[in-house]
Structure 1
């Protein structure tokens, strides 16, 4: 066991401004930042990598955390991301040190505006696929669903942004966090020279002791700057048969996946609304009591991943349609990002509203749930609206 595994890894910060202090202290490459409505974490350095081998990922994470704790590390955690594809490599490590603070939404300094990143005068933007080709893929999927091949697929597209200089990732992260401080903001390494950065509205699952919480989203509408129109769109979303059906498919899948782990599982009959700066979403908060308190947060997350909200139904058919339709590899997009401690507690969020940074380039991702009543125009517009979260953070436009 290396000497680094024997060093303390947890430092709580509770003073006013502590959460924004961690946000301001984030540094790409060696830093890992995750903020949720319940806490803010900043991991620094790497004490140990989660191994890449044939053993189940949940077992490898548990074994690493047990080894770190036995070596004397105080409250070790694993942080990072798991990709969409089941055979793609993860990016999970146990940081050398971790600082904790209350949530950003409770920090009064989060209300201060964040400046646009410096040094970026213009972005070159390339849409992959082009909107017309994306619309064709949606139309083809709708035809196949109407013939009975499958019931839903989530199709994504990307924006490839290139700037004259390397982007200012800490400034982007700050803007994302200040734009939606009640959401889930993250920046973690996703591979050699790459950083995954984003602000997701969707909790996949959280575990604290013997309790779990999941918050599936499904069904969306873009926000409006006009208050009356914004309220109208929210009310229409709550009554939309297409979006309510899409949401029900996701909730049913979450219920089916989590029920075997629970003594009781509470699932509200109707969804509510959650909002981000750019979107309205149908939302259901699922809670449950674990039958076996030894089940870890990552085990629960792995049982859920991927939900129909990011893949489709049936899962294997939807994966095949995605591979046929999307001219790019998703990588960490629509995977999960989060943390777990040695007791099994943790939070894992769905990796959406995100980008992967490498050098002078950013690849932004956005997807839409396609069902039999979908139209190419509506789904293309929905992905365009979802791009706004990150475009605003980098000072670019589509």
Structure 2
């Protein structure tokens, strides 16, 4: 196993290395059994396990805090941190550990070497099986829209999956390279969730971060596929900013985030209108919500747990939307639309919404994509949105839908 540089960070866990290759070197060193997370503030590569966060009835943030408090700093002065994934269902077991070693570097986006292309994926040998199929998914959307018009609820996020199987075992490091180099400004992750199973993805959406007394949330809702034609791409972006359906869907999410964060903050700022963020595949409506934490004892994970799930991945009212998801989706979401991220004993951390992701096991990948359904939704358009969202991972493996 190759050597990983050890983190000896200040208690903010802030990575400050600026050397060329400091971030991409960690990406290149990733192996399938490692834990990798790249965010707009840092790149982390972790190996081994000092402790696992136990499953239990106490709030997850408390169990994480107790696990970290029981560990002393490493001999080199490194502060323990927790890293991993949390499922959509808050009652299900999380996959969070305190690693033995953590290599830390700056954000991938500031490393010039991230512009170097990843190796091209193989274009043959894949079988793709949708669950549910596009027609069944569209029927589920139509049924949800009918119920919304009857006043049962105002929004639900419905997902579908693809089972992608290859002729050989998956090359996880190569997939991670393609995901990271395609969207280096986002949140790229590869995290074991069970023996022989790895969650990989490139999410654009920050649920919440805490750095000292500053809280930041960046809800995304409302999207449009990118176009290779520049003029058409600009037209789609402009149309998204004026779409009444997407602006309503976005406003529902931003209001929920605002209402949840407000009790934790002594002050909070919410822009009046959304802006745009882009990935390689999609335009998204985006609002950055910032707040000053009122109680310094509240951790990023505690706030993230209060926010999860937002209407961006579940719906509103939450309990009704959860029931509709259970009735409509013919699969268990598992870690899809949960959270991935890191946190330290001081309460700092970054927690990201687990979208644009897949679970890898052996020769198979299960890809996930969802769309926010409101009363103005059209089944064909929402099905097309999920197809566009699948592109992030299909391009990383070289498969076609």
Which TM-score bucket, shorter chain as reference? over 0.9
Partner of 2:298: 295
Report the Cα distance in structure 2 between the residues aligned to 1:230 and 1:288, rounded to whole angstroms: 33
Structure 1's unaligned 5+ residue stretches are 1-7
Partner of 1:27: 31
Q: Is the 8 A contact 1:10 1:76 kept in 2?
A: no
Give 2:210's match in structure 1, choosing from 204, 207, 211.
Answer: 207
Q: Is the 8 A contact 1:9 1:95 kept in 2?
A: no
Deviates more, 1:81-90 or 1:9-18: 9-18
TM-score between the two structures when normalised by the length of structure 1:
0.96
Partner of 1:3: none
TM-score between the two structures when normalised by the length of structure 2:
0.95
Report the Cα distance in structure 1 between the residues aligned to 2:207 and 2:74, rounded to whole angstroms: 31
Could you report, residue by residue, the CA deviation over 1:243-272 in whole angstroms, capped at 9, with x for unpaired residues? 000000000000011000000000000000
Give 2:227's match in structure 1, choosing from 204, 224, 228.
Answer: 224
Partner of 1:107: 111
Partner of 1:316: 319
Per the TM alignment, residue 66 of structure 1 is displaced from its structure 2 partner at its CA by 1.3
Per the TM alignment, residue 121 of structure 1 is displaced from its structure 2 partner at its CA by 3.5
Q: Please say if 1:358 is aligned against 2:361.
A: yes
Q: Is the 8 A contact 1:10 1:97 kept in 2?
A: no
Q: Is the 8 A contact 1:10 1:99 kept in 2?
A: no
Q: Is the 8 A contact 2:73 2:79 kept in 1?
A: no
Could you report, residue by residue, the CA deviation over 1:112-157 in whole angstroms, capped at 9, with x for unpaired residues? 0000346x73110000000000000000000000000000000000
Could you report, residue by residue, the CA deviation over 1:340-380 in whole angstroms, capped at 9, with x for unpaired residues? 01111100000000000011100000000000010110000
Report the Cα distance in structure 1 between the residues aligned to 2:295 and 2:321, rounded to whole angstroms: 32
Q: Please say if 1:95 is aligned against 2:99.
A: yes
Q: Please say if 1:139 is aligned against 2:142.
A: yes
Q: Is the 8 A contact 2:209 2:300 kept in 1?
A: yes
Report the Cα distance in structure 2 between the residues aligned to 1:288 and 1:393, rounded to whole angstroms: 36
Could you report, residue by residue, the CA deviation over 1:289-315 in whole angstroms, capped at 9, with x for unpaired residues? 000011101001001000000000000
Report the Cα distance in structure 1 between the residues aligned to 2:311 and 2:185, rounded to whole angstroms: 24
Report the Cα distance in structure 1 between the residues aligned to 2:345 and 2:247, rounded to whole angstroms: 38
Partner of 1:83: 87
Partner of 2:170: 167
Per the TM alignment, residue 172 of structure 1 is displaced from its structure 2 partner at its CA by 0.5
Secondary structure of the residue that 1:258 maps to in structure 2? helix
Report the Cα distance in structure 2 between the residues aligned to 1:341 and 1:117, rounded to whole angstroms: 36
Per the TM alignment, residue 74 of structure 1 is displaced from its structure 2 partner at its CA by 2.1
Partner of 1:41: 44
Deviates more, 1:13-22 or 1:296-305: 13-22
* Number of equivalences: 389
Partner of 1:304: 307
Partner of 1:4: none
Q: Is the 8 A contact 1:69 1:342 kept in 2?
A: no
Q: Is the 8 A contact 1:263 1:290 kept in 2?
A: yes
Q: Decide whether aligned partners of structure 1 residues 54 and 71 sit closer, same or farther in structure 2, where only a CA change above 3 A counts.
A: farther
Q: Is the 8 A contact 2:74 2:80 kept in 1?
A: no
Q: Please say if 1:59 is aligned against 2:62.
A: yes
Report the Cα distance in structure 2 between the residues aligned to 1:114 and 1:245, rounded to whole angstroms: 38
Secondary structure of the residue that 1:68 maps to in structure 2? coil
Give 1:252's match in structure 2, choosing from 232, 251, 255.
Answer: 255
Report the Cα distance in structure 2 between the residues aligned to 1:292 and 1:22, rounded to whole angstroms: 35
Q: Is the 8 A contact 1:117 1:168 kept in 2?
A: no
Per the TM alignment, residue 9 of structure 1 is displaced from its structure 2 partner at its CA by 5.8
